[in-house]
Amino acid sequence: MAAIHAAVAGASGYAGGEVLRLLLGHPEVRIGALTGNSNAGARLGGLQPHLPQLADRVLLPTGTDALAGHDVVFLALPHGQSAAVAAELGEDVLVVDCGADFRLKDAAAWERFYGSSHAGTWPYGLPELPGARDALRGAKRIAVPGCYPTAVSLALFPAYAAGLAGPEAVVVAASGTSGAGKAAKPHLLGSEVMGAMSPYGVGGGHRHTPEMVQNLSAAAGEPVTVSFTPTLAPMPRGILATCSAKARPGVTADAVRAAYEKAFAGEPFARLLPEGQWPSTASVLGSNTALVQVALDEAAGRIVAISAIDNLAKGTAGGAVQSMNIALGLPEELGLPATGVAP
């Protein structure tokens, strides 16, 4: 066992560190090369002190020299760098990209939001979406969804897939600060973020918007718009996505509940909570579980669906490992914690 040899490119960042944390608990994976850019040559122990088993590992420069010869390569690189690295890895190597490069189908949307030419589209690593799991089986290239699109798509796709919701979604999501990465910027200092709820990218500017539009439109079978406001919350991890859309005429609370029960039946990592219990980010810290709840606001005529995930786990590295398991034909839950670290 432990027959799968995995490399991680970008091992000093938050996404790379979380991939490593999960792989350390995966019974079939052996961790191979770790790479970095500015941190190449450094020991991992000083960069990721929560991973004591790997403390003495030294980061190699990101590139084919380090990454070749593995069964799986996880890319946790800045946007725009994945295509070049992936191109040098063989077609038989499973490449799991935690970046944005291969998520979008619409090249124009990519270019508008990212300002560079579109690299392509890979099978999408959110297996709970209709048809997504099948597309992942045997795949050799996987685009891991963004953290916000993971939370928002899980909250709203059942309503759209069942034809219950109007085509204009409104989403306000709160994210822990790790979603902004490890680069030192003044507005991300602890002194600034503790005690602070602060919006950013308001008015449609966030790069995750077209990915939500893509997922919800696919579920609805018609174009869906998303008014998306992300906010930074004073916590290291977690996303709470509060999502709503007009209920189509005649939609009942029972119909809404039934659609969500059907959508999540049998899903190991996406759970509809019992009626009356609402999800909290605290319940999913460190876990690959998404908790979802939904209600019909009769006075306002809206379906309100809320999801909680760990942005680094289910929202990034957990989704990546879950997709890897599916691609490789392993049990989907293997090595992935469904329990959160609480309180």
Residues that contact its own copies, how many (by CB under 8 A): 95
Phi, psi dihedral angles at 7 (to 5 degrees):
-110, 155
Decide: is 286 part of the binding site for its own copies (CB under 8 A): yes
**Residue 98 annotated in active site:** no
Q: Which of 316, 269, 318, 325 is nearest to 139 (CA)?
A: 325
Region near its own copies per CB under 8 A, out of 1-9, 83-91, 157-165, 239-247: 239-247
Residue whose CB is less far from its own copies, 18 or 101: 18
Which one, 87 or 197, has the nearer CB to its own copies? 197
Cα(36)–Cα(42) distance, rounded to whole angstroms? 9
Q: Is residue 166 near its own copies by the rule CB under 8 A?
A: no
Q: Nearest approach, Cβ of 35 to its own copies (angstroms)?
A: 19
Cα atoms in the Cβ-side hemisphere of radius 13 Å centred on 260: 28
Alpha-carbon separation of residue 199 from 106, 229, 232, 233 (angstroms): 27, 7, 6, 9
The token duo for 317 is 């590295």
DSSP assignment, residue 247? B
Using CB under 8 A, which of the segments 67-75, 130-138, 155-163, 267-275 binds its own copies? 267-275
Please tell me whether residue 10 binds its own copies under the rule CB under 8 A: no
Q: Dihedral through CA 220, CA 251, CA 209, CA 183, nearest 10?
A: -130
Nearer residue to its own copies within complex by CB, 37 or 231: 231
Element (H, E) at 207: none
Give least dist CB 53 to its own copies, A. 6
Taking CA atoms, 10 is separated from 39, 96, 313, 330, 340, in Å, by 9, 12, 16, 25, 25
Residue 217 lies near its own copies (rule: CB under 8 A): no
Nearer to its own copies, 21 or 70 (CB): 21
Site for its own copies in 41-70 (CB under 8 A): 45-46, 48-53, 55
Stretch touching its own copies by CB under 8 A, among 80-88, 92-100, 273-281, 318-326: 273-281
* Among 8, 139, 147, 151, the one annotated catalytic: 147
Which tokens sit at 202?
A: 């308001």
Would you call 209 exposed, middle or buried from its count of C-beta atoms within 10 A (0-12, 13-18, 19+)?
A: buried
Q: Which of 95, 126, 219, 291 binds its own copies (CB under 8 A)?
A: 291
CB of 87 to its own copies, least distance (A): 31
Nearer to its own copies, 121 or 231 (CB): 231
Other Cβ atoms within 10 Å of 247 Cβ, number: 23
Binding residue for its own copies, selected from 244, 322, 323, 325, defined by CB under 8 A: 244
* Distance of closest approach, residue 231 Cβ to its own copies, in angstroms: 6
Catalytic annotation, residues: 147
